[in-house]
Amino acid sequence: MVRSRGFKVGKIGGAPLRALARLGGSELAARLHLLGPVQRAIYEGARAGTKAISSFGASAAKKRAAQAAEAQRLGPSKGPALFDLAPTDEQALMRDAMRRFAEEVLRPAAHAADAAATPPDQVLAQGHALGLAGMMIPESLGGAATERSTVTHALIFEELARGDMGLTTAILSPLAVVQAIVTWGTGEQQARYLPPFLEERFVPAALALLEPRPLFDPMRPRTGAVRSTDGGWALWGEKSLVPLAATAEVFVVVAEVRGVGPRLFVVERGTPGLTVESDPAMGVRAAGLGRLRLEAARVPDEALLGGQASPNEFDVGDLVDRARIAWGAMAVGAGQSVLDYVVPYCNSRQAFGEVISNRQAVAFMVADIALELEGMRLMVHRAASRLDQGLDVAKHATLARMQCASKGMKIGSDGVQLLGGHGFIKEHPVERWYRDLRAIGVLEGALLA
């Protein structure tokens, strides 16, 4: 068994193997061949697609009876003794596969999806086939994860976002729900909600934290949950810019329980009192953003993630930090796509008899993008690796977010600037990246690294 930090390659299962094979081509196959043990592990661990259980209810009935209600958690790991910036072989392999997926699937679909403000089903299905859910679900629950792997996730998110931030948000949105349930759900909730995410079908789902008002404080959401006298909860409030809102079969909603603090509630589609409307924004449009209105939305006692048993393990700060690391990785990916785009452009665009990159005013702007981008990346990686090691990350995630918000936006703006008028029109993707990068520093929650 080949073990990498955070997941066992051999147990990723059939879906990612198929995805790798589909992406494969000869180059990747050759790389797999070079990494013999990894390849063997993937093949040995590969399992054919399993029986289709497509609704949470069906699997719930089955699992509830069968499974002990012990919650499965992914623990921190001891970090390496030395400072190190080199990814593991498995991480490098995964990163390359994600890069190809981003280039071949996400980037070509980005423009139309942005205009339609909806992700194409085909892209979601292909994204699901990457098998990322399996990497996040513990072995004992049918996945392949053995410990926290935030760094791996950050590398993956970055590569996908290089293709398109909006589509990546859509693909990763259900994984935030998966991770929330893995991290904070009871054994019963894990058994009920996690299995469908390991099936063939893409299950749309979303984590809703952000609310539609200025100076939103993610530590103090105004959406509230009130315990009913006859059992169950009534949720009140509004959540905005929720990915996949129109199709999500399940939402995990952050709501304040008076006297207790923010808690997570599973709200299934069709819950009375829940209405969903479209909420398109400046950017990240391909994520299919929507607004949730909760007006005495009734959910049962079991909807409270982690249950009522005290001490409840949930701390909204952990969720905020992990989301910020995820969005930071997205900013790095989008920033990298800007850099990758402006370098050849400035090296070929002629003005005053030579390429514009021969001028310092242009060249230094490009250099600045490269330099600030690397700083952002290192800050995101540091926060992610601290999380994996079980170290405090509140400060590092916050600083990484601030840096990614300000420098990421500068990169987005400079990307348009470098193309001048051409950057302002939709013939080039830099105007989309400008809009997408403004999401950093605005969006909270929605994704978890």
Residues 25-84 that bind other proteins (CB under 8 A): 79-84
Which CB sits closer to other proteins, 140 or 398? 398
Q: What does the block give as tokens for 309?
A: 């048993």
CB of 205 to other proteins, least distance (A): 25
Q: Does residue 381 interact with other proteins by CB under 8 A?
A: yes
CB of 41 to other proteins, least distance (A): 18
Q: CB-side exposure of 202: number of CA atoms within 13 Å?
A: 23
Q: Map tokens 């090691």 to a residue.
A: 389
Residues 314-343 that bind other proteins (CB under 8 A): 317, 320-321, 339, 343
Question: Residues binding other proteins: what is the number (CB under 8 A)?
Answer: 58
Q: Does residue 426 interact with other proteins by CB under 8 A?
A: no
CB of 324 to other proteins, least distance (A): 8
Please, which residues have CB within 8 angstroms of residue 186's CB and are 6 or more apart in sequence?
69, 71, 305, 306, 307
Do residues 110 and 167 lie in contact, with contact meaning Cβ atoms separated by under 8 Å? yes
Backbone angles phi, psi at 248, to 5 degrees: -55, 135
Select from 15-23, 187-195, 216-224, 229-237 the region that touches other proteins (CB under 8 A): 216-224
Do residues 320 and 217 lie in contact, with contact meaning Cβ atoms separated by under 8 Å? no
- Please report, as a single letter, which amino acid is at residue 449: A
Measuring CA to CA, which residue among 407, 168, 166, 176 is closest to residue 281?
Answer: 166
Select from 198-206, 302-310, 376-384, 428-436 the region that touches other proteins (CB under 8 A): 376-384
Residues 403-422 that bind other proteins (CB under 8 A): 403, 406-407
Q: Strand, helix or coil at 205?
A: strand
Q: Strand, helix or coil at 13?
A: coil
Binding string, 142-161, against other proteins, x = CB under 8 A?
A: ---------x----------
Q: Give 283's strand partners.
A: none
Q: Is 307 left (phi over 0), alpha (psi -120 to 50) or beta?
A: left
What DSSP string runs through 242-297? Answer: ETTTTT-SEEEEEEEETTTEEEEEEEETT-TTEEEEE---SS-GGG--EEEEEEEE
Q: Does residue 378 interact with other proteins by CB under 8 A?
A: yes
Q: What is the DSSP letter of 429?
A: T
Select from 178-186, 242-250, 275-283, 362-370 the region that touches other proteins (CB under 8 A): 362-370
CB of 218 to other proteins, least distance (A): 7
Select from 43-51, 123-131, 211-219, 425-433 the region that touches other proteins (CB under 8 A): 211-219
Identified binder of other proteins from the candidate list 15, 32, 176, 376, rule CB under 8 A: 376
Identified binder of other proteins from the candidate list 50, 389, 413, 417, rule CB under 8 A: 389
Sign of CA dihedral 282, 288, 290, 292: negative
Residues near other proteins (CB under 8 A): 5, 79-88, 91, 151, 215, 217-219, 317, 320-321, 339, 343, 346-347, 357-358, 360, 363-364, 366-368, 370-372, 374-376, 378-379, 381-382, 384-386, 389, 391, 394-400, 402-403, 406-407
